[in-house]
Amino acid sequence: MQLKAPAKRIIALYGAFNELLLALGAGDSLAARTVADADIPGLAHLPAIGTHMRPNAELIVQQSPDLVIQLAGRNEALLQTEALRGLGLNVLIFEMNSFEQMFGVMEKLGQLTGREAEASKLIGAWQKRLADLEAHYANQEPVSVFYEVRYPNLLAAGRGGIVDDIMAHAGARNVVTDEKKLVRFNEEALLAADPDAYLVQRGPMNPDPQPLDQRPHYKNLRAVRDGRVLTVDEDFFARPGPRSVDAAEALGRFLHPQAAR
């Protein structure tokens, strides 16, 4: 899609896009937000237009956006965006399951907002930090890690999402080998994998995770016995955006304290 002029009224239906636009210095181009994005600094004053999965078409049209952005992946959300296209709105859908895809989205947002130079500068800085991180842990033995997305009915981060990319840059190896982003995981398989470290996501998908030492069988995990359990913020680790680079650096320090800078 090519706009005739830089976008001036953007509605992003997923928080990560808002964070990228704010990092780009394009916050004044945001016309509205989803209900879930009220906590992102700088967005609370904007009108809410529904949720990521169920955006309200009438409220969106009222804001006269010249661009609407949605995340690929969930059929329910995509049906809603097709309806918005049917109303004549410019709608772009992006995948963002890795750092490489995130940089590609940032480059496109720079073009759409007339901020190509700013986008290029940010991408270059993030790429350098990640390259430095990889080099720093290159000689360390990879730490095997399990990332809990939700418990009970255990759900794990697989190889198809940004979490796996964060792990790889932090000198870790995901014990979940399924290529999907989210993977239903058998607790017997978890005990068999016996990861060196265990990450517990806390956020909307896992609001009040039970401590591992209070769960049946989990006390037998090496990560629990060795005290290598870390509770992480869902928005920080699972939402691709500027903070994903920070998450990789923080995870590296936790997993490799002897080599941390």
What are the tens digits of pLDDT across the range 194-206? 999 999 999 999 9
Q: Above pLDDT 90, what percent of the chain?
A: 89
* pLDDT interval class at 29 (50, 70, 90): very high
Residue 151: strand, helix, or coil: coil
**What would the two tokens of residue 182 be?**
């989210």
Residue 244 belongs to what H/E stretch? helix 242-255
Q: Which amino acid is at 154?
A: L
- d(CA 85, CA 182) in angstroms, rounded, equals 28
| Across 246-259, average pLDDT | 94
| Across 128-139, average pLDDT | 94
**What would the two tokens of residue 186 be?**
């058998």
**What would the two tokens of residue 72 be?**
């690929």
More confident position, 140 or 157: 157
Could you tell me the pTM of the whole model? 0.92
* pLDDT interval class at 260 (50, 70, 90): low
**What would the two tokens of residue 8 be?**
């001036």
| Across 49-57, average pLDDT | 91
